Structures are given as structure tokens and as C-alpha cells.
Amino acid sequence: MARNNDLMTALLDTRRELNDQIGAVGDRVEGAEKELRQVVTAEVESLRDDIRETRARVNNGSSATTEVTRQVTALRQDLHEIRQAVADLHSLVNDLAGHQVFDTSTPWTGPAAAPAAEAEVPAVEPSANGRARETETPASMSTGRTGVLPDGEPDETDQRKQSSEALDSGTEPSEEVSHGALLLGAAPIASIVLVCHRDAWNFVAGLASGQEHFNPTPEITDDGDGRVRIILSGRSLIGVLIALREARVKGSVFDGSWAMASAFYRRMAEDLRKTRRAGKAPLTIVFNDGVTDNYDDGASPEAG
């Protein structure tokens, strides 16, 4: 009987210990579960924040892409308009270049009443300051001829000949080739005489002042009636030609600077084509257009 009591006591103690151990295990499991839930909840919130940030970035990227697409479309439209404007301007310049007022392929032959005077070389005599000066030659007929090419005398360089032949045959060489040939023609010139109004020379000198080859202090003498006579070296002439060409190309068509630069450049180009290696007299380029001596239209020039 006593043994049975001891056994029951042992069983009860064992049961009590098992209950305590099970309770402890349950507490640990509950704590671990609670901790796991907290960790999982924190990670889920972090993932949600990352997802929201990613969505915001995607939305911002989409907005930026849309804006870039809009700007590209606007730029394409602007480029199309610029190309159209350039094409219109090119067409306008071509039409203007074809106008008879700019046709220089045929040399000027002088007044019909005195055709022989054009072929004569003006006499040259030294002036008081030692410069060569034309004598008794009307300014309107001074075209800068320096003589006829002797038999067997070689002409200008191949590039100058090609440019001149192209102009004489009615086919226009490229503008760059013509300009290069013009500079090659100006390079071997010792000096030229330029006659024009003082205001016109101030305009030309202002354009050429930034050119490295241009001498800003050439010899200038008064020629009367507001005109001046300027002696330019070949190097200074190159600087003037480069400056005039830049003003023609970069200036606004139909404005005053474009007109002045174009007129000076064209006349210089025409007269420089007449220079020859055998020529001894300096070329004189005159800007003094006016009426001829035999002007007669039923009224005096002053009545205009």
C-alpha cells in the first residue's frame, strides 16, 4: 500500500514537471512567434516603402521621358522651319545673283562714243610725292588696266585661269575656288591705288581692321570732291578682300553693309583679273560711278 502511494506521488511529480516544462516551451514558442511577427512586419513595411519609392521613380522617369519627347518634337519642328528658311533664303540669293545688275561676265567697254579710249593704257607720271598718278584720265573710265599680255608671256596660275575661264564661259566656279584664286592673284601685287569717297574707305578700313594682313595706316592723299587715294600693298589688299568676303557671307542680305561689301568685292575682283605679270603700272581701282561725258537725255544731270 505504501509502495502504491509512493508511485502515485512520483507520477504526480512527473506530471507536474512535464506541465511546467510544457508551459516553459509554450512561453518560448510564443515569444519566438511574437519576435518573428515583429521582424516580418518590419521587413514587409520596408519592402512596401521600397515599392512606393520605386513606383515614384518610375512615375518621375515616365514624366521626364514624356517631357524629353515633347522637347525633341519641338526641336524637330524648329529644325524643319530653319531648313525651310535657309532653303527660301538660298533660292532668294540665287534669284538675286541671276539679276542682270550683278552680271560681270562681260567686261565694260566704255561709252559708245569713244570705244578706242578703253583699250589705251593711261599715261603714268610721278606726282609731287613720288607716287604714280594717272594723267588726264576721267575717273569714270579708270578701270585699272595695266597693259596687254605680250606674246609668249605666261598667264596667271592655273587656279586663276580656271576661275576666269569658268566665268567667261558662263559656268560659275565654286565661291571658295573663286575667292582662293582672287587671293592668289592679289598676293604677287606690289601695290594698288584705290580711289573712293572718304566715307567708303572708312567703311572698308573698319571691316579690315581685324585682319592680320591689313595695314591700318596706309598712305592716303586727298583726291578732291571728298575722294581719297589710298595705296595698298598686296598683303593689305588680301586683308581687305578677306574682310569684304566675310561681310558678304555673314551679313544680312539687302542691308547696307552687305551692299557696300558686295560692290567693293565684285569690282576689285573684276579689276584684279586684268593684272598681268608683265604689267609695270600699278593697278588703279576707282569707285566713282557717275554719268558719262556725253550724257544727254533731254535734261541736264542736275535736273535729274
Q: pLDDT tens-digit profile of 163-185?
A: 455 445 444 557 888 888 889 98
Alpha helix ranges (H) inside 98-127 = 116-119
Q: How many helices (DSSP H) and strands (DSSP E) are in the chain?
A: 7, 6
Residue 20 confidence (pLDDT) above 70: yes
SS3 letters across 165-199: HHHHCCCCCCHHHHHHHHHHHHCCCCEEEEEEEHH
The percent of residues in the chain predicted with pLDDT above 70, rounded, is 70
Please give the mean pLDDT across all residues of the chain.
76
Q: pLDDT tens-digit profile of 95-120?
A: 776 655 555 554 444 444 433 333 34
- Rounded Cα gap, residues 169 and 239, in angstroms: 29
Model-level pTM greater than 0.75? no
Span 201-207, mean pLDDT? 95
- Rounded Cα gap, residues 265 and 256, in angstroms: 14
Residues whose CB falls within 8 Å of the CB of residue 260, separated by 6 or more in sequence, listed in order:
200, 203, 204, 247
pLDDT of residue 1: 64
Residue 57, CA atoms < 13 Å, CB-side half-sphere:
6
Q: Which residue has the higher pLDDT, 166 or 193?
A: 193
